[in-house]
Structure 1
């Protein structure tokens, strides 16, 4: 197993960590169900292969009432019966936003329109910020090879 290269950069620059955590607090206070935030965090972190964020996402998901079936199947959410339409819309948006470079139209209209059907603009803003901040943490943890369980 590879070893950690250095501490997470935001740990080395405490003001950066404070700012990132401030964004997290703002997202949490925006009125979106914590379950949705946890599912989107977990899915983005799985895509990016961020061990600490996957582990944290599972913990967060359990705290917000995500079922064991959902936690275990979030990577295969399309092929399971355990997600409602709102959760599916949020997960589709998460995948598109996390994989921006994978297609010429990064967030196709059908993905956006489905999300906009289930969430108002403030809720969409919170979801997009949650996906973005998750991707930011993933991009700090992955290159420095942060390990899950080392807090």
Structure 2
């Protein structure tokens, strides 16, 4: 596959705004490992090979184990995630698959709210929204790992 367009080159102001949101997330109270798991899981769901590759590598560099990275796709069946991470992954899946359902279920939101403060919940929502936006850019423009 050949990349169709370089969004950063032709929409630099939009790209800068995306980077500003990523900087916000990096400085948020949400644990870095949780952010990477969110990004990886949403990217798996959305079929963004570029983002799956990037966030697997980023998580690995940040100390994430191979086993947890492999298990992210099957987190519900895996014993390797904390209750808080499970809540974040559940919310990520629900918010990523909006077209498949009417809304994010209250039970999923409540579970996340039991594990995260309001600032962390806000960052969690922003992180899910951002990775979904990045995935749509990556898939639409045919970004490939290493490009």
- With the shorter chain as reference, the TM-score category is over 0.9
SS of aligned partner of 2:2: coil
How big is the shift at 1:139? 0.7
Match of 2:14 in 1: 16
Give the deviation of 1:133 after TM superposition.
0.6
Cα deviation, 1:74-112, whole Å, max 9, x if unaligned, reads 0100011111101100000000010011112x2101100
Aligned-residue offset at 1:63: 2.5
Contact 1:38–1:64 under 8 Å retained in 2: no
1:119 aligned to 2:116? Answer: yes
Give 1:46's aligned residue. Answer: 44
> Partner of 1:58 in structure 2?
56
- Structure 1 residue runs of 5 or longer lacking an equivalent are none
Q: Distance in 2 between matches of 1:16 and 1:138?
A: 15
Partner of 2:73: 75
TM-score between both structures, scaled by the size of structure 2: 0.96
What's the TM-score once normalised by structure 1's chain length? 0.93
How big is the shift at 1:16?
1.1
Segments of structure 2 that go 5 or more residues without pairing to the other structure are none
Change (3 A) 1:11 1:138: farther
Paired residues for 1:76-91 under 5 Å: 76-91=74-89
Partner of 2:105: 108
Distance in 2 (alpha carbons) for counterparts of 1:6 and 1:24: 22
Distance (Å, rounded) in 2 between the aligned partners of 1:11 and 1:29: 26
| Partner Cα separation in structure 2 for residue 42 and residue 11 of structure 1 | 25
How big is the shift at 1:22? 0.3
Distance 1:68 1:17, change over 3 A: same
